[in-house]
Amino acid sequence: MLVRNLTRQTVLAERAAVADSSQTRRTGLLKHSSLEAGEGLWIVPCEGVHTFGMKFPIDVVFINKKRVVVKVRRNMVQRRIAFSLRAHSVLELPVGVIDQSGTEPGDQLELVRS
């Protein structure tokens, strides 16, 4: 899946996987050893994530049903929890993508399945 920030005209992920079943949402990135540049994971539906058992830190973008960013969490390291009751889904990305893309709450995202 391609994820673009329409507000900033930047790309957050070129190859984001989708976790949209109970099993894939529960597993998330726990079995991964890293996320490469351009990769990500879109978890839908989802209001919160944790990094217990994760092997690497991530950037996290919380998105509402209209694909508007409601919250960002940079460099979420191991053993942390983040959530947003206004979120409908969460995008997990390599550390630095939020800053590189300039993504902020209020930005409009576009998610295109490939």
DSSP-derived pairing of the beta strands 15-19 and 39-43: parallel
- 9 Ramachandran zone, left/alpha/beta (phi>0; psi -120 to 50): left
pLDDT average, residue stretch 88-97 = 98
pTM: 0.96
Distance from C-alpha of 47 to C-alpha of 71, rounded to nearest angstrom? 11
C-beta of residue 15 within 8 angstroms of C-beta of residue 1:
yes
What pLDDT shows up at residue 40? 98
Helices (H), 1-114: 22-27, 97-101
- The residues that bridge with 40 in the sheet, in sequence order, are 16
What pLDDT shows up at residue 114? 75
What pLDDT shows up at residue 34? 93
CATH topology of domain 2-112: Jelly Rolls (2.60.120)
Tell me the per-residue pLDDT of 7-28, one tens digit each, with 9 for 90 and over: 999 999 999 999 999 999 999 9
Burial class of residue 79 (count of CB atoms within 10 Å of its CB; 0-12, 13-18, 19+):
exposed
- Measure CA 5 to chain center: 12
C-beta of residue 113 within 8 angstroms of C-beta of residue 80:
no
Tell me the per-residue pLDDT of 35-85, one tens digit each, with 9 for 90 and over: 999 999 999 999 999 999 999 999 999 999 999 999 999 999 999 999 999
